[in-house]
Structure 1
Amino acid sequence: MSKTGDQKRKAPAFLPDDWRLVENGFTPDTQAVSETLMAQANGYLGTRGTFEEGVADGIRSTEGTYLNGVYLRDPIHYDEAAFGFASHNNKMILVPDGKAFDLTAGDERFIQGASKLDGQSRVLDMRDGMLSRTSRWQTRTGGTLEINSRRFVSMAAPGLMVIDYTLASVDYTGPVSLTTGLNTRYGGGHEGFDPRAGELSVAACLEKPEAADRDGATLIAHRVRHSGHLVLAGYRVDYSGDTDIGAQDIREDGLWATRLDAALAPGQEITVRKYVAYADFEKGTQRARWSALGENLGTMAQKGFDALYKDHKAVWDAFWDTADVTVDSDDPVEQGIRFGAFHLFQSAGKDGGRALAAKGLSGPGYDGHYFWDTEIYAVPFFLFNAPEVARSLIEYRISTLDAARARAREMGHTKGALFPWRTIGGEECSSFFPAGTAQYHINAAIAYALIQYVNISGDKELLAGGGAEMLFETARIWMDLGHFNAQKGGAFCIHEVTGPDEYTAMVDNNLYTNLMAQQHLAEAAALAKSYSKQDFDAIAAKIDLSQDEVAAWQKAADCMYVPFDENLGIHAQCDGFLDKPEWDFDGTPAENYPLLLHYHPLVIYRHQVLKQPDVVLAQILLPARFTADEKARNLAYYEPRTTHDSTLSACIHAVANLESGDPAKAYEFFEETYRMDLENRHANTHYGNHMACMAGSWMALVYGFGGLRLEGALPALKPALPDGWRSYSFKLRLGAGLLKLSVSADSTDYQYDGPDPVIFHHYGHRVALKPKEQISLPNQ
């Protein structure tokens, strides 16, 4: 388990509920974490779960509204640079806040943490992404006002957020004022030293705006600094009530708003329906874009809250019809798995032009960068639950292939493409190359995701649409990076790379990298060999590929060096790893975790200590490359040397322990991963949710307890029921069909719905089901 001290963890106390996060009252100490957990998004637009009225000074809170894939390109400054260092960072920008409401009663302002509450409840419903709140405010005059707010970020209209805000008098008599619009006066800075954090202010992102009023909507346009990229935001308010309401426009520096004034008596209320829209463009005239956004807001307002919600909910209903997991248990497993699935689906890009940030759209962590964990952890989740999203994430990589080619040349490779370790726009943004650029295994991760997607979905068109070209170009890098080493009997060796374990950097023959490269080269060679002469000649002409080069890929794969220690009977993580001294875990205080924040990298690199699984991850992704005994010995050796400082660690160790026969320990790791953000177990959820960990929760259940492995295009399953569970179920999208598993103690019921028969393996036995067919099989 993570060795982070419990004293660092502060998490909201949600009420038990399988589908909702229910928070009563207001707790200042956990506010920033709640904002992350209650974030809303749709893959393009995301906003943190902050209160509309804000919080009192001194309370940790991070306001944030973001557009996925829209970033500030900022120079990286080095005191001592070298050739090939990343030159610019991409930082996900803040855009104008459209959800703020300034509420006053007389001369008293309502603000969380300062105003007197006579009860408050806030609910995020994961079934439909609606965030609702009821607050009862006791004013200084003694009267009570009730606030009811609902908001959603539309899954049906990518740039749209809709808010319903009602203010009602319980027994208050007097004037009230509501001001709402677009605000750019927020953001900036983060506390302490933590390279995982990141935050800008709106002013640091966007140049001085221009504003206009069109057809009842207020529109503002900004240019992203250093790029000229255009960001538009607009809002429109409709209001009603059983009292007279006066309205006036507010235009101040950084604020474009509408102020509503009324006098309320007991039993009276006013309701505001607010429609907020965002868009971004690389090219095009501002005037034309303004007109389009204004017309869109008018159309949305005419359609109304209820109709927009209906369209939005239909998307969620379709997702949950496939992705929902049920668990009959006394543990809050359903809430945890659904929470992860909810944030994954709402955070991932869906148009092929943007991907899934490490923190999704829930916070500023890692500057909104995309990493390898999208392909290794998130794509499997989407592959079986929303394959169109898996396709979109791979299409994003294809769209940045030219940038990867350019990076390869910068790194001295005469051929091929090298994808960046962390990026938004396609360029390398990691300024720490030992744990960044050196992680060449990202090329293999992208290839692995592509091949898995094609095998399971049957979508060969993606290969023709750039996938094959990407597979071949990324395979070329291994031939330039490695060589046939006479000192190791002619084996193909790869030097000076970093594997998934970032506590061991710049090594030779990292086992994970070598095996994933081997798989990559073999898959690339197999695809090239499968082409007709006409098809091969077409792609060969495009990228200057020869049959000799393809043959070299196969030879390198066949001769790949696989480090193995005969004395210990385990795979060495890399050359020299087993020669290093052990880390003094007993002498390391809990407050010194994660190690990366308390020890120089060289101190860590000199020891046998892991941040996350490396060899163990390889044996989960490539199970056929290891015997059962090797898997067990590898796990027994490496897990005690792993800090689990990465949130990518627990889920893989859950699967590995199940595979090696320790279900009790596996369940501990499983609990760690599905409660990771809900309980703030790494004490950094305030920066944003951990997307890959959320996908890992699903993997731990389906790959772990469900025993799912992929044998080419065939799923192989070995379902088992954990102690304390009475049953569980999940579904797998296989091509155009859907396979449902319902697992009990002794048997698994399979139900298939699809146009064509499906074939899979159950405990090694081949099973074929026709459409609408059901079967019950023993769990052995």
Structure 2
Amino acid sequence: MKNYIKHNEWQIIEEGFDPHLNKISESIFSLGNGRMGQRANFEETYTGETLQGNYVAGVYYPDKTRVGWWKNGYPEYFAKILNATHWIGLTITINDEVLDLNTCKVLNFSRVLDMQQGTLTRKFIVELSNGNVLGVEAIRFCSIVDDEAGVIKYTITPQNFDGKITVESSLDGDVKNQDSNYDEKFWNEISAKQVGDCALLNLETKKTAFWVSSAIYTAIYQNEKDLGLKSSFISKEKYVAQQFTVDVKKDQSTTIYKFAVNLSSENYKKEDLETTTIATLKRVKAKGFNQMLAEQAKAWAVKWQNGDVIIEGDVAAQQAIRFNIFQLHQTYTGEDARLNIGPKGFTGEKYGGSTYWDTEAYCLPFYLATAPQQVAENLLIYRYKHLEKAIENAEKLGFKDGAALYPMVTINGEECHNEWEITFEEIHRNGAIAFAIFNYIRYTAEQKYLAEYGLEVLIGIARFWAQRINWSIEKEKYVMLGVTGPNEYENNVNNNWYTSTIATWCLKYTIEAIGLVKADDAKKLEQILTKTKFDTEKETSHWKDIIEKMFYPIDEKLGVFLQQDGYLDKEQILVKDLPTVDRPLNQKWSWDRILRSCFIKQADVLQGIYFFEEDYDLTTIQRNYDFYESRTVHESSLSPCVHAIIAAKLGDLDRAYEFYLRTSRLDLDDYNNDTEDGLHITSMAGTWLSVVEGFGGMRVKNNQLHLHPVLPEKWKSYAFKIGFRHTIITVKVTTEKVSLTNESEHELNLNVFGKEAHLSANGTLEINS
């Protein structure tokens, strides 16, 4: 675990430059706006260890997979969000020496991510080998107002010399992905040109033929005045630049303003792309840096107004929750239903930038409560639009009659994950998608979504489960063979309790959903049944038989749900007895040793208890929690939040707080030694869940909002807002009371501490803790 980020409520601060931490910081200080994102690479040349990354939403490449391609039904490629044109580049040459923090002496260095404004500021003083000392202040942001634009203000101040500085402001498309399976570069040049005082580079992806057009405008200022310098235009393969030479004097500052835009053929016709790119660049540069910064700050203030979580008395906890919320908003805005949330967002290449089940299981609740309803709905529409692909994915594996298997990993709806035990065994992701539909409807009460989109998805998923199980003569039960549960430290197991539980829940809910649509719009139901060729009597009868006769592994002696058949055959060693040198297991042990151990990567049985807690009494939850928590190593970013929520429900606030810190500071403190390849964006929603559902006890039951707040010992108070069915409610919890403030014109009946309560329109309610 690292501990070099300074604690601050609204800023992420690094003081001092350690090259060994640089790739971690490049992830932590990343910027994005939902349409594009940029790792915290340096603007100037850096020859040290770095992971360069600029990403444009929706643009991907089908990189040919290196394993498993000979197996029937195996994906031929792994989809990757591409490292796109490097737009921030400024090659700075001072009296014939290139500025490079890897070769010069760094006298002072700081990096600050301002989460209120969405800006990254870097300040440093360096001494070059020629004895020149200079200071630099660089500020940049990816605009969330103009979401195809980024801007840089880069100020150089000589401290002991006069001379000349050459600035080469570039667009470099000769880039590659670090995780390219065959070290292939994925871009071809379409055009590179100078257009007036702008430089433009238009590239095309191989195979997928996406075009990304990037353009820059650069200006040099001294004494707050544009010097009006004319640039020299430089062009080589997949590279364009504007070059300037300027005289500088000791203690006189020279400021470089660089405006950049990245537009893709996902959003514009190819024949119009270059013209639109230049027009977009001219529009943003006409605003100027100061106006764009003011607009940025104002737009972020709106996001924080509804999404902030305020913690008093614990700066580390406060900083962490805001960092997680900030990165979620940088990754996904919900304005485009074609886009989704990659596990690394725009901060790194691992996992290909593709969509996993994380979105439905962890992210949807965050957006339901903190964003306009359309944002969450677009996450579900994304899956509806991929239904035909999900049916095709199932057909490739031998399923039929409209059975749908949603992919473990996807960009376009087609399965592209390259590990068999995950791709074809970790099928519980189907259940998470169905649960998200249920979660959306119980939260919003918008049952019309079922008729418009949801029921077709549910029928496809239910058909898959009905075909995936088989009848066991020995058990006289239906069984689920050859699966991988959420605990990926187990592969190809039989009767994973969570998978079987969520499968039968999906069958139950689909039957219920058919009834709901029939009651609401019988004509629409008939259309859906005709479209899906659904035999109501035959299929639902079979589903009910499965529901009644499904096998679930249980150990009666211990009183726990068994993770899968034979789990107790493993040597039962507890995590507390693991030598520290063995952690993390995935970096220290062989895969064979991990698979034979009892250790659990992330919540598995407890994932099911979290989803379906209303089905179990507290004694059952406690027994299962005690048993599985002691065997869980939390080597998945998705794990600690589930344990935090359950621990809080059980009244174990010390453990809940410990898990909250672990999930919230996972990347800031690099708990699992894996932050350098990108942040864990989807698990960041779990941080919010840890506060709101964990300590806040927020649930939706029987069409009603429930709250059961508890206060961690180290906190003086905490507060959060939730949007629920046309109301916006601020919940503040102190040692003495819970205060609820309704910021809407709609009254609300809710349940607090198990008792009915009424919150008037624009009213306030106080309840003793």
Determine if the TM-score, normalized by the shorter chain, exceeds 0.5: yes
CA-CA distance at 1:700 after TM superposition: 1.4
CA contact (8 A) 1:593 1:645 kept: no
Q: After the TM superposition, which residues 31-430 of structure 1 pair with which residues of structure 2 at under 5 Å, given as runs? A: 31-55=22-46, 57=47, 59-78=48-67, 81-139=70-128, 142-189=131-178, 198=179, 204-242=185-223, 245-281=229-265, 286-348=270-332, 350=334, 351-386=336-371, 387-414=373-400, 415-430=402-417
Partner of 1:525: 511
TM-score normalized by structure 1?
Answer: 0.92
Write the distance in 1 (CA, Å) between the matches of 2:77 and 2:18. 39
Letter in 2 for 1:377: Y
1:670 to 649, 653, 660: 660
Q: Which amino acid in structure 1 is aligned with residue 312 of structure 2?
A: D
Contact 1:69 1:425 in 2 (8 A): no
Measure how far apart 1:696 and its partner are: 1.6
Aligned length: 759
Native 8 Å contact 2:441 2:447 kept in 1: yes
The one-letter code matched in structure 2 to 1:398 is Y
What's the secondary structure of 2:231's corresponding residue? Answer: strand
**Distance across 2 between alignment mates of 1:401 and 1:156:** 32
CA displacement 1:250-301 (0-9 Å, x = unmatched): 1133421111111012353333322211122259764421111111111111
Shift of 1:682: 0.4
Helix, strand or coil at the partner of 2:59: strand
1:552 shift after superposition:
3.8
3-state SS of paired residue (2:347): coil
State the Cα distance separating 1:241 from its structure 2 match. 2.7
Aligned mate of 2:685, from 690, 695, 702: 695
**Shift of residue 87 of structure 1?**
1.7
CA distance in 1, matches of 2:64, 2:7: 46
- 1:436 maps to amino acid: T
Q: Kindly indicate whether the alpha-carbon contact (under 8 Å) linking 1:42 and 1:346 is maintained by their aligned counterparts in 2.
A: yes
Contact preservation (8 Å) 2:7, 2:315: no
Corresponding residue for 1:4?
A: none
Partner of 1:22: 13
Q: CA deviation at 1:468?
A: 2.6
Q: 1:349 to 1:383 in 2, by over 3 A?
A: same
Deviation at 1:144?
3.9
The one-character-per-residue Cα deviations of 1:194-249 (angstroms, maximum 9, x if unpaired) are: xxxx3589961112342133343222222211222222222222333356745211
Equivalent in the alignment of 2:721: 731
Q: Contact 2:220–2:228 (CA<8 Å) still a contact in 1?
A: no
Kept after mapping to 1: 8 A contact 2:188/2:238? no
CA distance, structure 1, for counterparts of residue 478 and residue 755 of structure 2: 36
User: What's the counterpart of residue 650 of structure 1?
Assistant: 640
Deviation at 1:561, TM superposition (A): 3.3
The alignment status of 1:473 with 2:463, answered yes or no, reads: no
Measured at CA, do residues 370 and 221 of structure 1 come closer, stay the same or move farther in structure 2, by a change above 3 Å? Answer: same
Query: Which SS does the other structure have where 1:158 is aligned?
Result: coil
Conservation of the 8 A alpha-carbon contact between 1:430 and 1:437: no
Counterpart position of 1:6: none
Secondary structure in 1 matching 2:171: strand
- 1:658 positional shift: 2.2
Of 224-233 and 719-728, more deviation after overlay is shown by 224-233
* Cα shift at 1:771: 1.3
2:493 paired residue number: 507
Structure 1 range deviating more: 561-570 or 292-301? 561-570
**What's the CA shift for 1:53?**
0.9
Question: Counterpart of 2:220 in 1: which secondary structure?
Answer: strand
Q: Deviations 1:325-347 (Å, cap 9, x if unpaired)? A: 11112451110000011111111
* Contact kept? 1:146, 1:170, Cα under 8 Å: yes
Structure 1 distance, partners of 2:182, 2:216, is: 21
Contact 1:743–1:749 at 8 Å: present in 2 too?
A: yes
Does the 8 A contact of 2:660 with 2:690 survive in 1?
yes
- Whether 1:449 and 2:440 are equivalent positions in the alignment is no
The CA deviation at 1:695 is 1.6
Q: Are 2:733 and 2:739, in contact at CA under 8 Å, matched by a contact in 1? A: yes
In 2: Cα distance, 1:557 partner to 1:79 partner: 35
Q: Deviations over 1:164-214 (max 9, x none)?
A: 22223444311111111201344454xxxxxxxx35899611123421333
2:600 is matched with: 610
Match of 1:621 among 604, 608, 611: 611
Preserved contact between residue 136 and residue 145 of structure 1 (Cα < 8 Å): yes
Given that 1:363 and 1:689 are in contact with CA atoms closer than 8 Å, whether structure 2 keeps it comes out as yes
Q: Is the 8 A contact 1:349 1:393 kept in 2?
A: no
In the alignment, what sits opposite 1:496?
Answer: 482
SS of the counterpart of 2:395?
helix
Contact in 1 for aligned 2:176/2:185 (Cα 8 Å): no
List structure 1 runs of 4+ shifted beyond 6 angstroms. 200-203
Contact 1:376 1:449 in 2 (8 A): yes
Counterpart Cα distance in 2 of 1:202 and 1:766: 62
Identity of aligned residues (%): 27
Give the conservation status (yes or no) of the 8 Å contact 2:366–2:685: yes
Task: Measure how far apart 1:117 and its partner are.
Answer: 3.7
- After TM superposition, the structure 1 stretch with the greater mean CA deviation from structure 2, 555-564 or 719-728, is 555-564
Structure 1 residues 510 and 203 mapped into 2: Cα distance closer, same or farther (>3 Å)?
A: closer
After alignment, is 63-72 or 334-343 more displaced?
63-72
Unaligned runs of 5+ residues in structure 1 are 1-8, 190-197
Contact 1:184 1:202 in 2 (8 A): no
Amino acid at match of 2:608: A
Instruction: Work out whether 1:719 is the aligned partner of 2:694.
Output: no
Is the CA contact (8 Å cut-off) linking 2:68 and 2:419 kept in structure 1? no
Deviations 1:399-453 (A, max 9, x none): 2222111101111110221111112222212222213321111111011112212
RMSD of Structure 2 on Structure 1 (CA): 2.4
Distance 1:457 1:340 in 2: 24
Q: Are positions 1:581 and 2:571 aligned together? A: yes
What SS does the aligned partner of 2:691 have?
helix
Q: Secondary structure at the match of 1:204?
A: coil
2: CA distance between counterparts of 1:401 and 1:657? 37
Distance change >3 Å, CA 755–CA 374, structure 1 → 2: same
Residue matched to 1:775: 765
Q: Distance in 2 between matches of 1:553 and 1:505?
A: 27
- Counterpart code for 1:217: C
Say whether the 8 Å CA contact 1:215–1:298 is kept in structure 2. no
Change (3 A) 1:182 1:572: same
Unaligned 5+ runs, structure 2:
none
State the secondary structure of the residue aligned to 1:725: coil
CA–CA separation in structure 1 for the residues paired with 2:182 and 2:332 = 24
* 8 Å CA contact 2:366, 2:688 repeated in 1: yes
